[in-house]
Amino acid sequence: MMVLTRKMIEIRTILQKVGQTGALTLPSIVVIGSQSSGKSSVLEAIVGHEFLPKGSNMVTRRPIELTLVNTPDSNVEYGEFPTLNLGKITDFSHVQRTLTDLNLAVPEKDCVSDDPIRLTIYSKNVPDLSLIDLPGYIQISALDQPEELKAKIFQLCDKYIQAPNVILAVSAADVDLANSTALRASRRLDPRGERTIGVITKMDLVDPDRGSNILKDKNYPLRLGYVGVVCKAPSSGGIFSRHVNVLSAITKNENAYFGQHPQFAGDSGVTVGTYSLRRKLMEVLETTMAQSLQGTSDAIHQELEEASYEFKVQYNDRPLTAETYLAESLDSFKHSFKEFTEIFGRPQVRQLLKQELDQRVLDILAQRYWNKPFADLKRARIDDHPLSELAKVELDELYWHRKLDGSSSALTKLGIGRLATNVVANSLSTQMDQLIEASTFRNHPFARKAIQDSSNTILNERFYATSDQVENCIKPYKFEIELDDREWAHSRENAQRLLRDELKACELGYKNLKDQIGGKKLSNAMSFVDKIRSGRAPEMAEGSEALGFSQAMLEKGREGIFLRDRAEILKMRMLALKSKGCATKDSKYSCPEIFMDVVAEKLTSTAVLFLNVELLSEFYYNFPRELDLRLGRHLSHDQIEAFAREDPKIRKHVDLQQRKQLLELALQKMDSLMALEKSKKAQIDEP
Ligand code: GDP
């Protein structure tokens, strides 16, 4: 058993994940040869399957890093492209097509690419080997194969046939060895022939004497020797049946051929047959691996030291995996959510809702009470009845009763259930967004979406039940509003405050308008609009451009008048609310601002009660659970990894830590392998 190669291949797989740097490359067998030397046939014979791209003009354009993994306990044979995520491919013609596609993906103008294709083949019929198939040397530059291609292939091959790689130099027996491009290339980089295995293909095409002489070659002596093969199955003319193991077909053929010529007999001193070649490859690779153990171990050590140093300097050795990062982020998010739940409760919901209703109250009042130009209202008497200042109509009891009832139902029938639920749900959503913004999740679109989905799911689920519930509970107010003195007094203050704030807003709006177009221009425009309205400029229809006032300026004038009037009305109403006339609840018809606040207060208090139970508590209970579902342990490792990588800083941290861990793992395997080798040696050395 070639344990070492197998283990080294394992280590190499780990190191590939680290991102291979030159120093960490483990030895492989690099296969070179000119086109048509039979290189592909040899490789396929070793693998036992036809899997390499074929066809006229199908030049291998990218190196294929081929890893063979022996799986003695399994009957399935399959290939895998570890960087492509295509899964296990049991159909070798599919492997072949994929390789063809990958080859064709290299743009014509680049000719060849040194970006390797990684292919691993698992089978009980393959030995543990790591081979690299390189583009075949081309002899003559055909029209469609420019001179440049020739040079590029040489460069590429030279890069791979460096030590400690073993060179498998393939030459055909029917071509003079002196003309073998493969041997000449190997000679340049391995001048003493120490790590080159010569493979002579097409032994069947020369006579046995010449064949055996080639294998004993003295001009190009190779320490690892030559192996003669006939890599051609007899019947199929080079194309092997997919169902027969290529190697056994070839071996049978070779046995027949070499068996009939004494030149190749066991005692002839030459090595022949693909089977022997395979054995040799295994042994040579195993020895080479053994020799590179110390070097590789040192290289891993050094890489590890660098990674550890960087980890210490940059991250103070703080461990971080995608999983811990997610868990920590989630914990801290939940923590901030908890804090939020403590500051956003009933009082806050109440305030939110009341503000909303205040706005509606203002709208209703403006629509129903403050709806005459101030000039008209001013002419009314001020003292005896404050409400008379709002309208010129005679104070008719029924009229004012209806007006107030109408206003009150405009508010109670607004759809308070939906409105209130909406206000709170929107606020919760916004607040969750703010929590995200303040958390590590802000850099993670995936988590951001998961959190938003969590909150939306709960809010949507609760929406209808809550709004129905609220609507039901405020129903009595649609029919009757009872009020006591305390409520009146409280609302009187509220109403005054509300009007004061509204006045401020009007005055600010007026000031902004003035700043925008200038005080003089504004007052000119306003007095012109006033004139039109009071009929003192009868020839001017309102809206026509006149006296140098543009349409836009007239619009500003109207806006100015509106704000001025509104401010005046508000001032007047504030005085009224302060006056004796509004002191008690009996004056509700003449003090609608106060009464409407009473209604708004009642609606708010009732709605809040149910919003709290139906929406807020439910949300607070379910949200962390929903988060766990979407961001918790059920996520796959890949999802978590992808999540963590969204943040470039975290990605760097995780990558470095992973690199360190992988190097540690590789080193650990390396150490145990070296210990094993040592003990093996000790056993052998023992007398
Ligand atoms: P590559 O271009 O170096 O990969 O060469 P191939 O493996 O495609 O072989 C080129 C041609 O030589 C094909 O037609 C093969 O069938 C043929 N061939 C390969 N090995 C042998 C052999 O040992 N004997 C004979 N007679 N033909 C061979």
Which stretch of 55-69, 73-87, 375-389, 422-436 has the lowest confidence by average pLDDT?
375-389
Q: What is the SS3 string spanning 189-233?
A: HCCCCCCEEEEEECHHHCCHHHHHHHHCCCCCCCCCCEEECCCCC
Per the prediction, the chain carries an average pLDDT of: 86
Q: Taking CB atoms and a 6 Å cutoff, what residues make up the pocket around ligand 1?
A: 33, 35-41, 136, 201-202, 204-205, 230-232, 238
Q: How many CB atoms lie within 10 A of CB 471?
A: 19
What pLDDT sits at residue 452?
A: 94
User: 382: pLDDT confidence band, cut at 50, 70 and 90?
Assistant: very low
DSSP code, position 585: G
Distance CA 198, CA 229 (A): 11
Per-residue pLDDT for 528 more than 80? yes
Q: Ligand 1 mean position to 35 CA, how many Å?
A: 9
**Ligand 1: which of 41, 175, 200, 205 to mutate, most ligand atoms within 8 Å of CB?**
41
Q: How far is CA 620 from CA 345, 614, 615, in A?
A: 10, 11, 9
Which atom of ligand 1 is found nearest the CA of 229? 23
What pLDDT sits at residue 392?
A: 40
Per-residue pLDDT for 234 more than 70? no
Q: Ligand 1 mean position to 470 CA, how many Å?
A: 86
Q: Ligand 1 mean position to 36 CA, how many Å?
A: 6
Strands 29-33 and 129-133: parallel
What pLDDT sits at residue 504?
A: 96
Q: Ligand 1 mean position to 128 CA, how many Å?
A: 25
- Report the share of the chain in percent with pLDDT over 90: 45
φ and ψ of 170, to 5 deg: -95, 125
What pLDDT sits at residue 243?
A: 54
As given in the structure block, the two tokens for residue 647 are 């943040």
- Which residues face 123 on adjacent strands? 70
Nearest CA to ligand 1 atom 2: 36
Quote the pTM value.
Answer: 0.65
State in Å, rounded, how far the first CA of the chain is from the last one: 23
Vertex 150 angle, CA 149 and 153, to 5°: 85
Nearest CA to ligand 1 atom 22: 202
Q: Ligand 1 mean position to 140 CA, how many Å?
A: 18
Rank 150-164, 422-436, 530-544, 632-646 by mean pLDDT and report only the highest. 422-436
φ and ψ of 505, to 5 deg: -60, -40
Q: Ligand 1 mean position to 246 CA, how many Å?
A: 14
Distance CA 645, CA 310 (A): 19
Q: Model ipTM?
A: 0.98
What is the radius of gyration, based on Cα positions, of the chain?
45
Q: What is the pLDDT of residues 612-655, one digit of tens each?
A: 989 999 999 999 999 999 888 778 888 888 888 888 888 888 88
Among 365, 364, 412, which Cα is nearest to 604's?
412
